[in-house]
Each structure stands twice: as structure tokens, then as C-alpha cells.
Amino acid sequence: MLLEITVPTEERFQVVDITDEVQHLVWRSDVTHGVAVVFTTHTTTGLAINENESGLIEDIRAKIKELIPEEGNYAHNRLDGNAHSHLRATLLLNPEVVVPVEDGELTLGAWQRILFIELDGPRHRRVLVKVCGC
Ligand code: ZN
């Protein structure tokens, strides 16, 4: 069963903790042992697993901006002006994370959270979750 989370973002760059939503979908899936594949369906967003701590989120935002600045002589900007967002998603992030599921629970470490990273908001975003038994 393919499940889905809607993530409405309000800022240009925003980190949204979707761990609780993913856990609820795992419970709905009736899979007790397997994996949860979480996949963002967009070219200017990414997923990561890390700590949801406000200082760290600030650091992530600053480092992403430093590594790939908004201003640049980007060819894609001839089309829609968001080349930096695509580059950040492609070169710095992944479209998916995979988390083992045991006894119906995501087996994340104590400080690990599933973070959805908006790079070109605000928009309504769609994240797919596939829970497979194995
Ligand atoms: Zn674009």
C-alpha cells in the first residue's frame, strides 16, 4: 500500500519534522517487521535524518546557502529562476530515506528525526511512504 503525507510549507527554506506522520502511516500499514521508504516527489526538496534542534537547523540552512548561493550564472534560471534550489536538492540532499521497522515502530536512534527540507517554498508538497514487510 502506497501512503502519502501532504506537507504545506510557509517559507522559502524550511525544515519540517515529519517523523510522527511517518510513524502513523507505519501503524496504518499493519507491517510489523520491514522497512519504511519515505520519498519526496519534488525536484527542489530533500529528506534527511538528523536531530531537530533549532541551532542545528540554523546551521544546516546557513551551510546550504554558503555551499550553493542563490546568485549565480545558472543556465536553468533562464527557465524559472530557481536553479540554486535544484542544485541544493541534487548535490546536497537525497529524495528518499529508508528506516527499518521493528514491532511496528520506526527504529530511529534517540535523537534521529525524519526531516523534510523545503528549498523553494512556500508550496504544497507530497511525500510518499511505502511500508514493506521483510
Ligand atoms: Zn526550476
Cell readout for 44 is 527542489
Question: Which residue type sits at 125?
Answer: R
Distance 37 CA to ligand 1 centre (A): 25
Dist CA 74 CA 37 (whole Å): 32
Dist CA 78 CA 115 (whole Å): 31
CB within 5 A of ion ligand 1: which residues?
Answer: 80, 82
Q: H/E element holding 64? A: helix 54-67
Domain region containing 91: 2-133
Looking at the structure of the chain, the number of domains it has is 1
Q: H/E element holding 21? A: helix 19-29
Residue 101 sits in a domain whose CATH number is 2.60.120.460
pLDDT at 1: 79
How would you write the pLDDT of the chain (134 residues) with one tens digit per residue?
Answer: 789 999 999 999 999 999 999 999 999 999 999 999 999 999 999 999 999 999 999 999 999 999 999 999 999 999 999 999 999 999 999 999 999 999 999 999 999 999 999 999 999 999 999 999 99
The neighbour count for residue 47, using CB atoms within 10 Å, is 19
pLDDT at 129: 98
Distance 23 CA to ligand 1 centre (A): 31
Distance 84 CA to ligand 1 centre (A): 9
Distance 11 CA to ligand 1 centre (A): 17
pLDDT at 4: 97
